[in-house]
C-alpha cells in the first residue's frame, strides 16, 4: 500500500514539475528569444491536442 502511494505521489510530482517548466511555451505573445522556434513547437502541440487523429 505504501509503495503504491509513493509511486502515485512521485508520478504526480513529475507531472507538476513538467507542467511548471512547460508553462512559458503555452503563454500568448512573443517569447523571450525572438529568434527561437519555440512558437512552432507550441503551435504543433496545440494542433495535435485539438486534432489527435490525423486521418479523421
Question: Is the confidence at residue 34, as pLDDT, over 90?
Answer: no
Count each helix (H run) and each strand (E run) in the chain, helices first: 2, 0
pTM above 0.85, yes or no: no
Find the angle CA(21)-CA(22)-CA(24) to the nearest 5 degrees.
95
What is the rounded distance in angstroms from the CA atom of residue 26 to the CA atom of residue 37?
13
Query: 2 or 38: whose pLDDT is higher?
Result: 2
Residues in the chain: 56
Q: Which uninterrupted H or E stretch holds 23?
A: none
Which pLDDT value is given to residue 9? 96
Query: Distance between alpha carbon 1 and the CA centroid of its chain, in Å?
Result: 30
Amino acid at each position: 500500500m505504501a509503495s503504491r502511494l509513493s509511486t502515485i505521489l512521485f508520478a504526480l510530482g513529475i507531472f507538476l514539475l513538467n507542467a511548471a517548466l512547460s508553462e512559458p511555451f503555452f503563454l500568448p505573445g512573443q517569447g523571450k528569444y525572438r529568434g527561437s522556434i519555440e512558437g512552432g513547437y507550441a503551435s504543433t502541440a496545440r494542433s495535435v491536442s485539438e486534432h489527435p487523429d490525423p486521418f479523421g
